[in-house]
Amino acid sequence: MFVGLSLDQAPPYKAPIKFFLIAPIFAIIAGIFALFSNSYEIHNPNIIATIHLVTIGFIVMTIIGALQQMLPVIAGAIIPKANRVSNITYTILTLGLISFTVGFILYEKIYLFFAATLLLIGLLYFTTIALFQLFKVKNKSYIVIGMILSLLFFIIAFLIGIHLIIANATGNISALHYSFGLLHYNYIFFGFLFLLVVSISIQVVPMFWVANAYKKQEQAIIIFISTVLLVFYPINLFIDLGLDIVYKIGFNLIILYFVYLTIQKLRNRKRKLQDITVNFYMTSLIFLAFGSLYWLSMSFFTLHTNLFGIILGLGFIISLMNGMMYKIIPFLTWFHLNAKGLFDIPSMREMIPIKNMKLQYNFHLFSIINFIIGFGLGINLIIKLAVVLFIISNILLFINIYKAVQIYLKNQYREPFGMGK
């Protein structure tokens, strides 16, 4: 008896893959908007378009792709009718992002309104389904609890975002508008992204890099203290307790603890093979720690907000996502071909050449460094150079991940064990 892998244990190949493939394309479009921007002020329409094409087009698209793939691995939870859910989400979000882009090119509000509506529907649709599957998991590990909390904070942040858009559109700006804005970005970043990264790291760091598992106590400390701080934040904000600094110091300690633990685990991993994805993960963690301290310093000094966005958005989140894509996509390709009985396919390590990934890593890193120097010194030419590097990095990312996808496309109809043509 050989009980092989079963394809119904994972989403169909194309369900998550299309999200990964389109993510760098939106990042390239975001880069083009930034390249033709005459100013890098955060209120410049081209920069607003860039930020949202990166956050929703790259980051959210990648997260949706990763969640479809990771739910069975992390929680044994499988999204039912995965193809349909994936196609609906993908179509709605892509149309929303195209409408968003056209809206900024033509300066037509109707396209932006259409975009906001589609993005809202698409994101809530997928998040609700993912949450429902996570709630159904019988033995909820800290990973599952972390993911549930992360998605709940996302929904709250998203609803606050809608409130802010309506308030802006109708000119009905209340005294609490700024506080809602702060709550929105704190819940997106710390509630949604940080908790999601923590939950996924707890699973994938030992799984993909043969590192020691996070102890239960370590998992509990990070997830529960983060949640307590996130619940405390709006209380402090709306009752005006003036305890912002407690919240910030608390989160800094938790973030630094998570960074320390994860770097230790990656440094002490059992199989120290050359792996560029470790460089991406390490880079991401270093920028997370740096960004967290920068955020705390903003309470005491006047510092560039743009730089904060670059450190956390590009340095932390996008570095991590690049590295994860180089693990998840070969894993998906291997899993689906293996489940078809094809055992002569390249191993996960052979699917994307290491030198190609290294080249992309270098462009990505130089892009971040140039952004930091450019924004730090206020030199637009260096910022433009950083944008060009960012565009090249995403073109290379697309080419690299497509190499793994090509292996699937070439082999998907082949018969196992040489039984075919």
Partner 1 sequence: MSQEIIVDTRELEAPEPMTVVLHTLSRLDANTYIKMIHRIEPQMLFVHLDRNNLNYKVSTGNEDVLIYIWDNSFKNLAQFEDMK
Residue ranges that bind partner 1, judged by CB under 8 A? 1-6, 8-10, 72-76, 78, 141, 203, 206-213, 270-271, 331, 334-335, 338, 348
Query: What is the H or E stretch that residue 255 is in?
Result: helix 244-267
Count of beta carbons in the 10 Å neighbourhood of residue 86: 23
Q: At residue 104, what is the residue type?
A: F
Our CA angle for 214, 147, 288, nearest 5°, is 65
Closest distance to partner 1 from the beta carbon of 207 (Å): 5
Q: Of the two residues 109 and 215, which places its CB atom closer to partner 1 in the complex?
A: 215
Task: Quickly tell me which residue has 């956050």 as its tokens.
Answer: 55
Q: Of the two residues 126 and 209, which places its CB atom closer to partner 1 in the complex?
A: 209
Would you say 27 and 53 are in contact if contact means Cβ atoms under 8 Å apart?
Answer: yes
Q: Of the two residues 40 and 209, which places its CB atom closer to partner 1 in the complex?
A: 209
Q: Of the two residues 1 and 175, which places its CB atom closer to partner 1 in the complex?
A: 1
Residue 19: helix, strand or coil by DSSP?
Answer: helix
Q: Of the two residues 29 and 332, which places its CB atom closer to partner 1 in the complex?
A: 332
Residues contacting 368, CB < 8 A, separation 6+: 287, 310, 314, 315, 319, 386
Closest distance to partner 1 from the beta carbon of 17 (Å): 17
Closest distance to partner 1 from the beta carbon of 370 (Å): 34
Closest distance to partner 1 from the beta carbon of 74 (Å): 6
Q: CA 230 to CA 267: how far, in whole Å?
A: 30
Closest distance to partner 1 from the beta carbon of 61 (Å): 23
Q: At residue 87, what is the residue type?
A: N
DSSP 215: P
Task: Pick the closest to residue 227 from 193, 196, 189, 195 (CA basis).
Answer: 195
Closest distance to partner 1 from the beta carbon of 404 (Å): 14
Q: CA 253 to CA 185: how far, in whole Å?
A: 19
Q: Of the two residues 5 and 373, which places its CB atom closer to partner 1 in the complex?
A: 5
